[in-house]
Amino acid sequence: GQQLNQSPQSMFIQEGEDVSMNCTSSSIFNTWLWYKQDPGEGPVLLIALYKAGELTSNGRLTAQFGITRKDSFLNISASIPSDVGIYFCAGQRGNNDMRFGAGTRLTVKP
Protein backbone atom coordinates (compact mmCIF):
# COMPACT_ATOMS: atom_id res chain seq x y z
CA GLY A 1 0.00 0.00 0.00
CA GLN A 2 0.86 3.64 0.05
CA GLN A 3 3.30 5.07 2.53
CA LEU A 4 2.63 8.72 1.78
CA ASN A 5 -0.23 10.69 3.32
CA GLN A 6 -1.41 13.33 0.90
CA SER A 7 -3.93 16.00 1.80
CA PRO A 8 -6.39 17.30 1.07
CA GLN A 9 -8.10 14.57 -0.94
CA SER A 10 -9.98 17.15 -3.00
CA MET A 11 -10.26 20.89 -3.36
CA PHE A 12 -12.87 23.12 -4.95
CA ILE A 13 -11.57 26.62 -5.53
CA GLN A 14 -12.41 29.73 -7.48
CA GLU A 15 -10.26 30.76 -10.42
CA GLY A 16 -7.53 33.09 -9.24
CA GLU A 17 -7.22 31.58 -5.77
CA ASP A 18 -4.03 30.02 -4.46
CA VAL A 19 -3.85 26.31 -3.66
CA SER A 20 -1.72 24.38 -1.21
CA MET A 21 -1.39 20.63 -0.78
CA ASN A 22 1.08 18.49 1.11
CA CYS A 23 2.48 15.05 1.62
CA THR A 24 3.85 13.48 4.77
CA SER A 25 5.48 10.17 5.49
CA SER A 26 6.93 8.20 8.37
CA SER A 27 9.86 7.31 6.10
CA ILE A 28 12.72 9.38 4.78
CA PHE A 29 12.92 9.92 1.04
CA ASN A 30 15.88 11.03 -1.05
CA THR A 31 13.76 12.76 -3.66
CA TRP A 32 10.29 14.28 -3.64
CA LEU A 33 8.30 14.67 -6.82
CA TRP A 34 5.02 16.25 -7.77
CA TYR A 35 2.98 14.99 -10.73
CA LYS A 36 -0.25 16.06 -12.40
CA GLN A 37 -2.57 13.60 -14.09
CA ASP A 38 -5.27 14.60 -16.55
CA PRO A 39 -8.18 12.26 -17.38
CA GLY A 40 -7.14 9.46 -19.71
CA GLU A 41 -3.46 10.29 -19.44
CA GLY A 42 -0.50 9.20 -17.39
CA PRO A 43 1.05 11.44 -14.72
CA VAL A 44 3.32 14.25 -15.90
CA LEU A 45 6.19 15.46 -13.76
CA LEU A 46 5.77 19.05 -12.49
CA ILE A 47 8.60 19.52 -10.03
CA ALA A 48 11.42 17.36 -8.68
CA LEU A 49 13.16 18.12 -5.36
CA TYR A 50 16.53 16.62 -4.52
CA LYS A 51 17.72 18.16 -1.25
CA ALA A 52 16.17 18.73 2.16
CA GLY A 53 14.99 22.31 2.44
CA GLU A 54 15.04 22.85 -1.32
CA LEU A 55 12.42 25.25 -2.66
CA THR A 56 11.75 25.05 -6.40
CA SER A 57 9.39 26.91 -8.69
CA ASN A 58 7.95 26.06 -12.08
CA GLY A 59 5.86 28.98 -13.26
CA ARG A 60 2.96 29.40 -10.85
CA LEU A 61 3.92 26.19 -9.03
CA THR A 62 6.23 26.11 -6.01
CA ALA A 63 7.26 23.03 -4.09
CA GLN A 64 9.48 22.44 -1.07
CA PHE A 65 11.38 19.43 0.22
CA GLY A 66 10.88 19.27 3.99
CA ILE A 67 13.88 19.59 6.30
CA THR A 68 13.17 16.21 7.88
CA ARG A 69 12.99 14.63 4.40
CA LYS A 70 9.63 13.19 5.42
CA ASP A 71 7.35 15.78 3.86
CA SER A 72 6.79 18.10 0.95
CA PHE A 73 4.25 20.69 -0.14
CA LEU A 74 3.06 22.08 -3.45
CA ASN A 75 1.57 25.53 -3.92
CA ILE A 76 -0.23 26.77 -7.02
CA SER A 77 -0.73 30.50 -7.24
CA ALA A 78 -3.47 32.32 -9.14
CA SER A 79 -5.19 29.13 -10.28
CA ILE A 80 -6.67 28.88 -13.77
CA PRO A 81 -9.18 26.39 -15.21
CA SER A 82 -6.50 24.25 -16.85
CA ASP A 83 -5.04 23.52 -13.41
CA VAL A 84 -7.91 21.06 -12.97
CA GLY A 85 -6.67 17.52 -12.48
CA ILE A 86 -5.25 15.14 -9.92
CA TYR A 87 -1.95 16.05 -8.27
CA PHE A 88 0.25 13.32 -6.87
CA CYS A 89 3.24 13.52 -4.62
CA ALA A 90 5.87 10.81 -4.85
CA GLY A 91 8.88 9.97 -2.77
CA GLN A 92 11.84 8.07 -4.06
CA ARG A 93 14.25 6.10 -1.92
CA GLY A 94 16.16 3.78 -4.21
CA ASN A 95 16.76 3.81 -7.91
CA ASN A 96 13.31 4.08 -9.50
CA ASP A 97 11.72 2.85 -6.24
CA MET A 98 8.90 5.32 -5.83
CA ARG A 99 5.91 5.57 -3.51
CA PHE A 100 2.93 7.76 -4.37
CA GLY A 101 0.37 9.67 -2.39
CA ALA A 102 -3.33 9.05 -3.00
CA GLY A 103 -3.67 12.28 -4.94
CA THR A 104 -5.43 15.62 -4.54
CA ARG A 105 -8.28 16.21 -6.98
CA LEU A 106 -8.39 19.89 -7.86
CA THR A 107 -11.48 21.56 -9.30
CA VAL A 108 -11.26 25.18 -10.40
CA LYS A 109 -14.50 27.09 -10.88
CA PRO A 110 -14.32 29.89 -13.46
Partner 1 sequence: KAGVTQTPRYLIKTRGQQVTLSCSPISGHRSVSWYQQTPGQGLQFLFEYFSETQRNKGNFPGRFSGRQFSNSRSEMNVSTLELGDSALYLCASSPPTSGSSYNEQFFGPGTRLTVL
Interacting residues with partner 1 (CB under 8 A): 1-2, 30-31, 33, 40-45, 48, 50, 88, 90, 92, 94-103
Alpha-carbon gap, residue 110 to 100, rounded angstroms: 29
Distance, in Å, from the CA atom of 67 to the CA atom of 96, rounded to the nearest integer, reads 22
We find the least distance from the C-beta atom of residue 77 to partner 1, in angstroms, to be 24
Please identify, using beta-carbon distances, which residue of 43 and 66 lies nearer to partner 1: 43
Closest separation between CB of residue 86 and partner 1, Å?
Answer: 10
Q: Which is nearer to partner 1, 41 or 59 (CB)?
A: 41
CB of 67 to partner 1, least distance (A): 19
- Beta strand spans in the chain (E): 4-7, 10-14, 19-25, 31-37, 44-49, 55-58, 61-65, 71-76, 85-94, 97-100, 104-109
The smaller minimum CB distance to partner 1, of residues 22 and 79, is found at 22
